[in-house]
Amino acid sequence: MKYYTSDGKKLLDVEYDDIPQLGDNVDGMLVVSKNEREDEYALFLLEPSGRICCYVLDEIYLIGKQSGFENLLDALGAWKNHEI
């Protein structure tokens, strides 16, 4: 398990080819799923409240973020429908 932090704009202290994986920790939240499309990828994170948060990244740069999904299926649906 690796631990990552962000400043709201990018992941800090990581190499460009170092991408968080399932089971890693980002900003204190567990990565429960990861999905890719073209040049970007989405990390689905378990918030302390039990809800799901989605970070969309391009390399190490955070290009989108949405939180408060009831469950992982809702978050994945929003990602696949380009709502995030």
* pLDDT bracket for residue 17 (50, 70, 90): confident
Q: What is the mean pLDDT of residues 17-38?
A: 93
Go through 31-59 and write b for each residue having 16 or more CB atoms within 10 A of its CB, e for each that does not.
bebeeeeeeebbbbbbeeeeebbbbbbeb
- Give the C-alpha distances (Å, rounded to integers) separating 84 from 1, 32, 42, 46, 56: 26, 17, 9, 17, 8
pLDDT per position as a tens digit, 70-81: 999 999 999 999
| Continuous H helices in the chain | 72-80
Does residue 16 have a pLDDT over 80?
no
Per-residue confidence band for 15, with pLDDT thresholds at 50, 70 and 90? confident
In percent, the amount of the chain with pLDDT more than 70 equals 100
Residue 59 pLDDT: 85
